[in-house]
């Protein structure tokens, strides 16, 4: 097996750990907020999606690296 394949898997796999935890924390906070006052659920949901998008950006950088390793190098 090529080392490139290993590098690709590690790049996306390791890089997804942090954002995974981050997205979970964002959802945790949002759900607690919704449980405390459900009347602003819509607003919280929109902001949660935005915050998840920012947390996800970190995973996207590792995706970029993985894609670069797999297809460019």
Partner 1 sequence: MRQFLKPRTIVIVLAVLLIMGGSAVLLRVPMPAIVLPPEPVACIGGHLAEGPHGLECEGGFPLTNSMLGTLLADISLLALVFFGLRNMQLVPTGLQNLVEAVIEAGYGVAEDVAGKENAPKFFPLAMTIFLFVLIANWWELVPGMEAFGWLVEVQEKGWEKAPLLGDNIYMLVREPGHYVVLPWFRTATTDLNLPLALALITMVYVQYAGFRALGLGYLKKFINFSSPMDFFVGVLESISEVAKIVSFTFRLFGNIFAGTVLLFVMPFLIPLFAPLPFFGLEVFVGFIQAFIFAMLALSFLSTAVIAHDHEGH
Partner 2 sequence: MAGLGINLIYLIAHIINFLLLLWLLKRFAYRPVLRMLEERRRRIEEGLKAADLAREEAARQRAELEKQLEEERRKAQERIAAATRQVEELREKILAEAREEAERIIAEAREQAQQERERILQEARRQIADLSLLLAQKVVGESLDEKKQHQLIEKFLAGEL
Residues that bind partner 2 (CB under 8 A): 67-68, 71-72
Nearer to partner 1, 34 or 47 (CB): 47
Closest CA to 65 of 1, 2, 16: 16
Question: Shortest gap between Cβ of 2 and partner 2 (angstroms)?
Answer: 16
List, as own/partner pairs, every contact residues 50-53 make where C-beta atoms lie below 8 angstroms and the sequence separation is at least 24, other chains included.
51/26, 52/23, 52/26, 52/27
- Give residues in contact with partner 1 (CB under 8 A): 43, 46, 49-50, 52-53, 56-57, 60-61, 63-64, 67, 71
């Amino acid at each position: 097996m090529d080392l490139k394949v290993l590098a690709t898997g590690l790049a996306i796999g390791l890089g997804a750990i942090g954002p995974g935890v981050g997205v979970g924390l964002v959802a945790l906070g949002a759900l607690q907020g919704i449980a405390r006052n459900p009347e602003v659920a819509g607003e919280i949901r929109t902001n949660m999606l935005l915050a998840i998008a920012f947390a996800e950006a970190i995973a996207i950088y590792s995706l970029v690296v993985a894609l670069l390793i797999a297809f460019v190098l």
